[in-house]
């Protein structure tokens, strides 16, 4: 075992490596006269079985998701086609996070991306592809059939990366996803901003990332 306290860094993607999709949701809501954070509210209603959960586990197609999300959102007050939501998902890669990924790799830490996603062509974007290539492992809900915050997603990630949970620092922008990680022993960082997150990560790893 290494003398350093951690061997690996696990990263969420959207809202951590990239700017938050919540900003795009809010822009959409404002443009369509929908209350702020309404879409997030739909996503958190019946979070284990709703349309969002099903598409992240690749249990339904984008076409089915479009109709299911529209029905779920309409039942809560405003009809939003699922296709519109999918169009808001992917922000821009944060250059400071790209720099941190490279520095962490140079210092010999294992890095994995743990992402709840849908089966789309986001990796065709050059900035996303460049980021993905830095990770040693990418665990995608749409490919493995489980999602954050389900315990099986985290145990699979540890097995794939060949590390014990208590040797991992995990960054995510959603507290619900961090809760399970902490429960199995991971150190966690709730990402509010890139600068805040990198500052906390520097404390854990003992290296400069900025």
- As its CATH architecture, domain 8-20+92-205 has 3-Layer(aba) Sandwich (3.40)
Q: Which CATH class is domain 21-86?
A: mainly alpha
Quote the pLDDT of residue 117: 86
Can you give the residue ranges of every domain in the chain? Answer: 8-20+92-205, 21-86
For every residue of the chain, DSSP letters joined together read --SSS-SEEEE--TTTTB--HHHHHHHHHHHTT--TTHHHHHHHSSTTTSHHHHHHTT-S-HHHHHHHHHHHHHHTTS---HHHHHTT---PBPHHHHHHHHHHHHTT-EEEEEE---S-SGGGSHHHHHHHTT-SEEEEHHHHS--TTSHHHHHHHHHHHT--GGGEEEEES-HHHHHHHHHTT-EEEE-SSHHHHHHHHHHHHTS---
pTM of the predicted model as reported, rounded to 2 decimal places: 0.82
pLDDT, block means (10 residues), the chain with 210 residues: 87 94 93 97 93 92 95 98 89 94 98 87 74 96 94 98 99 96 98 97 97
């Amino acid at each position: 075992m290494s003398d350093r306290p951690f061997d690996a860094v696990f990263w969420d993607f959207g809202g951590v490596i990239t700017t938050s999709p919540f900003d795009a949701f809010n822009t959409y809501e404002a443009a369509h006269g929908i209350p702020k954070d309404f879409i997030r509210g739909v996503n958190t209603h019946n979070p284990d079985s709703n349309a969002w959960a099903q598409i992240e586990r690749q249990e339904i197609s984008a076409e089915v998701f479009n109709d299911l999300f529209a029905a779920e959102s309409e039942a809560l007050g405003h009809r939003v086609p699922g296709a519109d939501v999918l169009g808001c998902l992917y922000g821009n890669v944060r250059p400071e996070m790209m720099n941190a990924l490279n520095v962490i790799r140079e210092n010999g830490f294992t890095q994995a991306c743990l992402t709840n996603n849908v089966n789309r062509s986001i990796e065709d974007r050059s900035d996303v592809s460049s980021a993905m290539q830095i990770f040693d492992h990418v665990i995608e809900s749409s490919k493995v059939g489980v999602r954050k915050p389900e315990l099986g997603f985290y145990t699979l990630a540890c097995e794939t990366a060949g590390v014990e949970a208590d040797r991992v620092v995990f960054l995510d922008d959603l507290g619900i996803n961090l809760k399970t990680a902490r429960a199995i022993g991971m150190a966690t960082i709730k990402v509010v901003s890139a600068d805040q997150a990198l500052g906390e990560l520097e404390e854990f790893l003992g290296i400069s990332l900025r």
